[in-house]
Structure 1
Amino acid sequence: MSYIANFEKALEIGRPPNIRTLFPNSRALIVSGKVIDRAMLAKGNAMTIAANGRNHLIIRGALQAAQRAHAAIIIEIARSEGGANAYCPVNYWNIARQVDALCNELAITVPVAIHADHYGIKKPEDIPVAVVEIPTIFEAGITSIAIDASHMPDADNLLAGIELARYIPSWAGLETEVGEIKGKLGLSTKEEALFIIQGLNAHDIFPDWIALNNGTTHGIEASAQGIQVELTAEIHKAIADYAVSGAQHGTSGNNSDRLRAIASQTYTTKANVATALQMVSWGLEVNDYGNAVLDTNGDFIKIPGKGVTEELWQEMRSFAESKGWKKGDYKSLNLSFENKIMGQCKAVRDRMARRVENFIYTMLVEVFNAGDTARFGVEAILEAGSYDIGPKTGRIESPENWTPDKIRQRAATIVSDKGPAGDYDD
């Protein structure tokens, strides 16, 4: 049977309840994050981009790239980017509407998940807020979430994950995280990863992904330390019995060869890209690491005729300078300038989206091995006969061994170096 025929069937049964309620007449195949993970696993040695849609034109370019590559894809926004204190115009409560509208406008026929990345829990007092807020973002069309309590000690991280799982639909994609991401300092260990995954498993919680502190950072990467592929592979092997895929954060600071190694040598199926897409959309020069190239004065290099107009870029720069912002703070320009960006002529908007499209297409096809994975996502839905394709494994651990008291006792025996405190939400 042709892909389009299968797509039509998947469209009937593969859209989760919140998506059907919000968009009853839509032809966008918005799916659970689980579907995207299974598509990559079915192809093997493949991971797709989780594109942080910091502005509308990034989302447009990402969807165009996925359609061109015939790849299943994730569009996401992090809590710092699009939560209650957002610095981006795209947020947890409007991202699904933007994705759905663009999928219909552009006739996108690949599976797309909408992921709430880095739903950060930095202290136990954050949990009551999350209990109220998490249901609202699913009501707004989120189909996958990362509960990131990795800033807290291991026991509190696990207990937060257990508590908040009650407020996440069972059909939704789920990501957990261990080890706050901060580059070469405070790397995650097998013991930490096993502790989190085993403890969740004992409570019938089966994450689709785990994000590790495996040697990379978020934002503009100043060093060449990069992802430690061997460490990642070692940890993934240690948790293999629990069928958890890897989620790679901070890919913007790593070159294509290292990212190919992550796809081919580990169990990673999701690779977050945020800062690089922002820079590409604006028309800044970036290197193979996805980092913006700086001139001899330490300034960003704007490519004439690419991205925003030269006049608008100068206005954006002047605004940032008036605020005393460093290069890493330029991300806050997204919220301040979205309307001016969308008020540019169509030719400029199109070239912004097209540059994102070309960047992501190359990543999907030549680096991530995600080309032609759309069909595997559709097949996963048809095989399950439902939007809810279920977990990849069942309970292995005994609940009685993972009570709150025993969780704290176990955590006290873990030897790890979390490194200095940091704030790496993106």
Structure 2
Amino acid sequence: MSDHLLWRYHDHVSAGHPGWKETYRSIGNRFFWTGMRESVRQYVARCHVCACVKPLNRKQDDPMRPRQPRQPWEVVSIDLMGPYPRSQRGKTCLLVATDCYSRWVEAYPLGQATAKTITDTLEREFFSRFGYARVLLSDNGTQFVSKTMEKALEKWGTEGWTTPIYHPRANPVERRNQDLKKGLRTALVDKPHSHWDSCIPNILFSIRNRRNRLTGSTPSERAFGREAKAPGDWLLDIISTGKNPKQIEMTGQKNIVTVKTPDNNNNSGVITENSDVFDRKTKISGGGEQPSQKFGLSSDKKDIGHKLSRENHRRRFKEGDWVYYRAHPLSSADKKFHAGFAPKWLGPVQLAKRLGEGVFVTKGKCQLKLHVTAMKYDASEGNPNKFSILQHVQQPKTGRGAPFHSALSPALGRNRKSHAAAGPQVDAASGGTAGGRI
């Protein structure tokens, strides 16, 4: 009898498979038996339909225990990005390879994402420069688990590791993919999206010379023992020491470059840059991972980005604030526009009036109704040299039929007439645009 009641108030079409508490309440209003509560709990917990269709409300423990490589180029992680708009050179996707020891990144634009193209590119471009890896780590994409890839791994003498299905966190290259995507969004603000492949070299140079928070050094330092020279670095060495670069390297002399820059009060400031080739080599000479504390890094992520993020969550928006709002672009194959290359936020716009709890309307001819969950505080509010990114973004129309750039008007409303006549004036001292928000 109890089994029939459990089925009637849980599995029946009129019941709709509720949770155990609702099932218990429905039965308890009509019937009772000893141990009814536990019977309902166990019955609902073993329900196959509920197990298949209902979401998991609690997060499973996900301990991250990565295998630590012992030397550069031992474990290489690969992945595919795309498809992207076809470039002028016929490229539609990006093969990304990362050395898990040094975090060195390589990215190769491809015309087609086939296993044959991937294996040929790795052999011709990657392994010929850095040597063949002991392990090649990838996800379970069809190109990476194909017969062609298996034969290539056997030929190279390389082990093939794959991550669990639909678990991208297990693949270290995914973090580098995020850096590449952010770099592409930044580089393509004022360019057609079909030029994405021409931006890859500069983005890679930037990523390879950024200090990693966990290792405490840049990928260039861990891979080659020194940081790659940026444009003008050799000239700074010559100016600061009066010697040619070979003499500086042989003596291990520190290069101290002093640059005097006037501040807003016309007072001279001093910026010094210290670099020592041998000191940098010493920092990374030891094997394995370096503790972040050795390099003055904090494990609680006390950087400016997180401070601004916490400030944005604590801040209560009010009328008159300048904010950025979340963008929702749609890709367009005809116009070669990729939503992943578009800015994630648009603005800044000024909040004009509060309509309700957490809802504002912006100033300007094209007013926007925004909720606080789709806004973030403009940290550069009051900076006269700032400029709006919106005027450079080339966007297609949105799904609602309105031009995607129609929201530019509120941000540009104050200075549209003056700047249309004179054009933006570049401030030589700051490198920004003068005259207010444009």
TM-score by length of 2: 0.24
Which structure carries more relative contact order (alpha carbon 8 Å, separation 6+)? 1
